[in-house]
Amino acid sequence: MSIIIYSRTGQPLYTAETATTLCEAAEAAVASSADLSGANLHGAYLSRAYLSGADLHGADLSGAYLRGADLHGADLHGADLRGADLHGANLHGAKGVFPERISPLHLYRFQLPGIELVAFKLVTSKGEGPYNGGIIYTPGETVSVDNATTDVAEDCGAGINVATLDWCLKEWRTGYRILRVAFTTDDIAAIPTATDGKFRLHRCRVVDEMDLASLGMVAS
């Protein structure tokens, strides 16, 4: 069985003679230093694909599933990344990546200085983050950390990890709570390039607790 990777105009770019999936074909193309510029990879399932150094200039990656893919040093100039899932992808050294075209969360970086912004924090019944813990979040108090990870290529790192409300609702489990927090642009440590809804703060003010019944998560 062979898999052919086509260009956006329908021309064959590379044929992987022994590949059984498009992901395997893409990895074989990269391993052979094939030119994949302008490739049509729309909607492709490329989870954890090894594409380090790939020439994907102008490629159509819209809607592609690239979670955990290694795109270290890849050329993505002009690539269509609309709707692509890049969460956990290694984008260190990748060229032509514009975060603003990947996630709407990057709008936070352009807000006016000093204006309070709002995000949400998922916590346990005790008020700790459900994954790392260590900090108790209490409405009315301000919390801060000294070592927040500022590298935008790191999806998970030290800091006050907050998120969009829909992310918190997806990760919610029985007994968890969702807090509303306030911060300013100066408080942002990093908005990961390919965030799935999370980002990191140096500090925030815990405003209040969300009513889970009004969000349909528990019975009223």
The total number of residues written for the chain in this structure: 220
Cα–Cα dist 165/159, whole Å: 18
Structural domains of the chain in order of their starting residue, each with its CATH number: 1-97 (2.160.20.80), 104-209 (no CATH)
Return the DSSP state at 178.
Answer: E
* H-helix segments, 111-160: none
**Structural tokens at position 138:** 């209490």
**Structural tokens at position 148:** 């927040």
pLDDT-flagged residues of the chain (< 50): none
Cα–Cα dist 52/50, whole Å: 6
pLDDT of residue 118: 98
pLDDT of residue 64: 94
Contact residues for 80 (Cβ-Cβ < 8 A; gap 6+): 42, 59, 60, 61, 62
The answer to whether 189 and 152 are in contact (CB under 8 A) is no
Burial class (CB in 10 A: 0-12, 13-18, 19+), 18: exposed
